[in-house]
Structure 1
Amino acid sequence: MSAVRYRITPIHPEAHLFEVEIDIAKPAADGQLLSLPAWIPGSYMIREFARHIVRIDARDGVRAVPLTKLDKHTWRAAPCDGALRVRYEVYAWDLSVRAAHLDTSHGFFNGSSVFLKVHGCEQTPCEVDIRPPAGRAYKAWRVATTLPEGPGKQGAKRHGFGIYRAADYDELIDHPVEMGEFALYEFKACGVPHEVVVTGRHDLDAARLCADLKRVCEWQIRLFGEPAPFERYVFLVMAVGDGYGGLEHRSSTALLCSRNDLPAPGATAMSDAYRGFLGLCSHEYFHSWNVKRIKPAAFVPYDLTVENYTRLLWAFEGFTSYYDDLALVRSGVIAQDDYLKLLGKTVTQVMRGSGRLKQSVAESSFDAWIKYYRQDENAPNAIVSYYAKGALVALALDLTLRTKTRGTVTLDDVMRRLWADYGQTGQGVPEDGVRRAAEAVSGLKLKRFFDEATEGTEDLPLERLLHAVGLDLRFEAAGSAPVLGAKTANDGDSVKLTQVLDHGAAQRAGLSAGDVLVAFDGLRVTPASLDALLKRRQPGDEVKVHAFRRDELMKFRLRLDAPSADQAKVTAATRTSPAARDLLKQWLGRG
């Protein structure tokens, strides 16, 4: 079977242009169809990657072959004699983990945003020749990817330009590529080579980062059982001034972080920023099992032309969000008290949004395409995060299993069952598959739990469940100053309302998202003065507010609210039973 051959070249880094060529030895007799994915697995929003193709043509030897565009991302090449070559340019200026980015300092791409699919050849082996930009300025550039190196003299050497290969189109687009003058660090976890590739100006304690990641990776590999589902793994890190994001792939992850998130040389304490970065790495690494291999039936196979609907993202993203921080404490990278603080933040995040009382996590999962990934100013009032509340569902399920079975069955057992039944077989998890797996390993009837936790909008019984393992959950106000009931952002030297919360002071007064505050009781409001103005008042005080809505100055009477007791804190209980202490040790102890 002839391979479909791709070439990708950064032809104009200064203009952010990749050139891609595809050689098809035997195009379809009635005209060859080609299309670009509309979304990338792991990021559930239609992104229309084809909009970045700025020119495209096709040739049969020296003869031009007409291309007809059939829809927003599909072309048909006219029937031709012999091999077909398709050539196109892709504009790459999306500094994220989802698409492609190219300038004179580096290049990055996900295959789903640059490689057209050759219809009829989806299962055909692929070769891709990754070429460097022309010019002496790029002589030191290298390549980082987990695409297998191609055979023969033209085959790429590790970290070099040249030919790489993939078993089929799905594999081709599941290995992101970084090129440039990056820093490279290496370690092994359970005998598997791991690399950390860092692009962007940075300084970091590489030994500390690799040691911490090694512990986290080994804990996760052993949770599911050796061997790891990959022969090599690469963390592709883009360090910038201010950024955050991650996207999982079958043997690598693309990460965007602030350079201050990386561990500073000589620092001994664990900063919140570094802890957050480790949590991000842990999250994407856990996806190597949960999402990349254990996946909803709706994703088997992916249809990258349209939305793929499932009500299970609370299990795939939410359970992963539960395990990302849990892996840090259970591997010994952070202390138990640090984990409890992180858990409190997750509870706080969920409790501060009234959307949790209107939308279930199953509904949030199904509507991710139009709501979670397209949030607007009303998001806190209308949606619940299947990441954050999904993590709390995982917590509630884990503690339920542990208490009802006296520690003999845990969520770890459920994950291993899902791995055996679905991850290792390639079958997709049915919509009731997580519940069925939990019931199978525990012997418990859990339909009511899942109905209430995933289909309902009631708050989870976390206080009771945490108390059963020797922990107290309490809520307190974040401060004493009265509040507006709105989220704000600096708009130059002014303050803009970005989100107005349900039933809060701002909403009752008639203020709206987008309004720019001008004055409280005749005193100018600025980013520097807002807190001071609020601290000099008491809950219940009425304030005359002047604000611009668009270009109109408007007046409001706002009665300030007391701060809500919505900040969660999880701490060790002062009095607890030996059984509860044993369960806590089993849950958060190293293992």
Structure 2
Amino acid sequence: MSAVRYRITPSHPEAHLFEVEIDIADPAPDGQRLSLPAWIPGSYMIREFARHIVRIEARDGIRAVPLTKIDKHTWQAAPCEGVLRVRYEVYAWDLSVRAAHLDTTHGFFNGSSVFLMVHGAEQQPCEVDIRPPAGRTYKEWRVATTLPEAGGRAGARRHGFGLYRAASYDELIDHPVEMGSFALHTFKACGVPHEVVITGHHDIDAARLCEDLRRICEWQIRLFGEPAPFERYVFLVMAVGDGYGGLEHRSSTALLCSRNDLPAPGAAAMSDAYRGFLGLCSHEYFHAWNIKRIKPAAFEPYDLTHENYTRLLWAFEGFTSYYDDLALVRSGVITQDDYFKLLAKTVTQVMRGGGRLKQSLADSSFDAWVKYYRQDENAPNAIVSYYTKGALVALALDLTLRSKTRGAVSLDDVMRHLWQAHGQTGVGVPEDGVRRAAEAVSGLKLKKFFAEATEGTEDLPLDDLLRAVGVELGYEAAGSTPVLGAKTANEGDTVKLTQVLDHGAAQRAGLSAGDVLVALDNLRITASSLDALLKRRQPGDEVKINAFRRDELMKFRVRLDAAPADQAKIVIAPRVSAPARALLKQWLGRG
């Protein structure tokens, strides 16, 4: 038996409770300390998973061992003899990709939200016995995970309950587990077995999904070079009525999607929703290289007790966001025109946020813990996304390298360099490591480029860079209807301002986030009438708006603005030179 053995049982699915037991063969002589991570790698926010532990006790044989809680997620056991057994219950009702969820239809957990870390044994091999819930109701349940089976008579069989193993605590918590009566589909990419596990009601064209994923996965494996860094990969998909999210792991990903995002049987055209789902899969798969193995030095190793700061998330999330859609077009899953639409959408998202002119990408990365993952009503005015603008920096760097080296070097070469120098060696990327890698493979001096793109707040020169590959970037207004310069949400038949944008009509008039709009020029504002009322006005018109702020009725005079020309459009230029055409083909081709 390993020095540390875990057992996890969905003991009360109807109450959303997992029971976890830990047997520690050699507890610390002065008293064993245990703690639960405060966050999960890939989601940069303190989540305090220990708050979901509802009961905990420890025993040494038949004798109770006192446990003292010494901070919000750490317990200290009294000194004891023999095997220390810690038993506790975890409340699992977080339907997301980050924590744990359990009911009578399925169970899901990330190890970081259910397995206490045994201090002093973090690097030791451990075992986990995954047990089924009791009762005939659950006789069809099985298990999906990339945790290695323990082997031997006690070891679990593939997709079965039983004993699994991990080389360390870090490995243990990097293999999420799904249990239930899920659908299972398989394919191979570059000879590597892949599984698509889907939980929740759905009706899909499984053959199409597997073929599209195969092409995407093979392109990514070949980008970095065979063999893939895993022996098997699993897409764990939770299909719901309305949902979206993904979290990367070393040989799997947990995904949350709307069931309508999945490809419908017999559908000839690719829907926008399905295209988006493929982009999500592509994004999380790319992370198997870029963040799970190519890591910032600040993450080597992770300290899961508190924030781990780096100014490089724009490279790890942003570059991955660039390649997720690029992989779709390069693998032939979507067309060039489709890719331009996706790229234009990313440009639009960045340009519509005033925060891009205030916060640098490096600062956005550093402050992710308190800003990006904890957005409020002022977020569009105050922050820039290291996902979307990071993707545009990747685009700008890629096109810069291609243009200045006449196609000899691209961002692909930089990623391969990072993989060989850091991903395959386990050496973390220093804070200036991405710039140094780009300079090393290209021979160019790029200090100014990176300073302006990641430390500055000026807009990127995308129009010039795209023109060099025969592509035009333009902007147009989303429509002719005048705008308030605010984002709204419908609550029943009422309309509430959720975000008021800098320098917009609503802000100038004194309206604030949280205000409930009541009337425009003495006509009632409802969820269905606001747009119609605005359409009857012209930019520059002054209107009277009545709104409730808390329980006070207030009046505002609002001078309406024209819709801003901030919707990007990307098309092939009418005239493309031969060198530009060659660069374009190379950029959107297969390498």
TM-score bracket, normalised by the shorter chain, equals: over 0.9
Please name the residue that 1:39 is paired with: 39
Please name the residue that 2:108 is paired with: 108
How well do the aligned residues superpose, as a CA RMSD in angstroms? 0.6
Cα deviation, residue 518, structure 1 = 0.3
Cα deviation, residue 194, structure 1 = 0.1
Q: Distance in 2 between matches of 1:337 and 1:544?
A: 43
Please name the residue that 1:458 is paired with: 458
Q: Distance in 2 between matches of 1:241 and 1:3?
A: 43
Q: Distance in 1 between matches of 2:200 and 2:548?
A: 40
Which SS does the other structure have where 2:401 is aligned?
A: helix
Aligned partner letter, 2:156? A
Indicate if the aligned counterparts of 2:3 and 2:26 stay in contact, CA closer than 8 A.
no
Asked if 1:84 is matched to 2:84, the reply is: yes
Unaligned ranges ≥5, structure 1: none
Q: Distance in 1 between matches of 2:347 and 2:518?
A: 34
Please name the residue that 1:300 is paired with: 300
**TM-score, normalising length from structure 1?**
1.00
Aligned partner letter, 2:133? P
Q: Deviations over 1:279-302 (max 9, x none)?
A: 000000000000000000000000
Question: What are the residue-to-residue correspondences of 1:121-520 with 2, within 5 Å?
Answer: 121-520=121-520
Please name the residue that 1:528 is paired with: 528
Cα deviation, residue 492, structure 1 = 1.1
Q: Distance in 2 between matches of 1:576 and 1:275?
A: 29
Aligned partner letter, 1:5? R
Q: Distance in 1 between matches of 2:81 and 2:467?
A: 74
Q: Deviations over 1:426-456 (max 9, x none)?
A: 0100000000000000000000000000000
Q: Distance in 2 between matches of 1:267 and 1:329?
A: 20
Cα deviation, residue 207, structure 1 = 0.0
Which SS does the other structure have where 1:210 is aligned?
A: helix
Which SS does the other structure have where 1:314 is aligned?
A: helix
Q: Distance in 2 between matches of 1:476 and 1:3?
A: 64
Moved segments of 4+, more than 3 Å: none
Cα deviation, residue 367, structure 1 = 0.1
Aligned partner letter, 1:513? A
Q: Deviations over 1:89-140 (max 9, x none)?
A: 0000000000000000000000000000000001111100000000110000
Which SS does the other structure have where 1:498 is aligned?
A: strand
Q: Distance in 2 between matches of 1:140 and 1:3?
A: 32
Q: Distance in 2 between matches of 1:420 and 1:104?
A: 45
Aligned partner letter, 1:493? D
Please name the residue that 2:559 is paired with: 559
Please name the residue that 1:538 is paired with: 538
Q: Distance in 2 between matches of 1:446 and 1:199?
A: 47
Cα deviation, residue 3, structure 1 = 2.9
What number of residue pairs does the alignment pair up? 591
Q: Distance in 2 between matches of 1:46 and 1:65?
A: 30
Which SS does the other structure have where 2:204 is aligned?
A: coil
Cα deviation, residue 154, structure 1 = 1.3
Q: Deviations over 1:9-30 (max 9, x none)?
A: 0000000000000000110000
Deviates more, 1:145-154 or 1:258-267: 145-154
Aligned partner letter, 1:22? I
Question: What are the residue-to-residue correspondences of 1:10-21 with 2, within 5 Å?
Answer: 10-21=10-21
Cα deviation, residue 190, structure 1 = 0.1
Q: Deviations over 1:314-342 (max 9, x none)?
A: 00000000000000000000000000000
Which SS does the other structure have where 1:215 is aligned?
A: helix
Cα deviation, residue 468, structure 1 = 0.3
Which SS does the other structure have where 2:5 is aligned?
A: strand
Q: Distance in 2 between matches of 1:318 and 1:310?
A: 14
% identical aligned pairs: 86
Cα deviation, residue 491, structure 1 = 1.0
Please name the residue that 2:7 is paired with: 7
Q: Distance in 1 between matches of 2:421 and 2:316?
A: 15
Q: Distance in 2 between matches of 1:32 and 1:311?
A: 36
Q: Distance in 1 between matches of 2:556 and 2:74?
A: 52
Q: Distance in 2 between matches of 1:19 and 1:301?
A: 29
Q: Distance in 1 between matches of 2:161 and 2:154?
A: 10
Q: Distance in 2 between matches of 1:268 and 1:137?
A: 39
Indicate if the aligned counterparts of 2:23 and 2:83 stay in contact, CA closer than 8 A.
yes
Indicate if the aligned counterparts of 2:2 and 2:127 stay in contact, CA closer than 8 A.
no
Aligned partner letter, 2:61? G
Q: Distance in 1 between matches of 2:106 and 2:2?
A: 32
Which SS does the other structure have where 1:208 is aligned?
A: helix
Q: Distance in 2 between matches of 1:82 and 1:132?
A: 28
Which SS does the other structure have where 2:265 is aligned?
A: coil
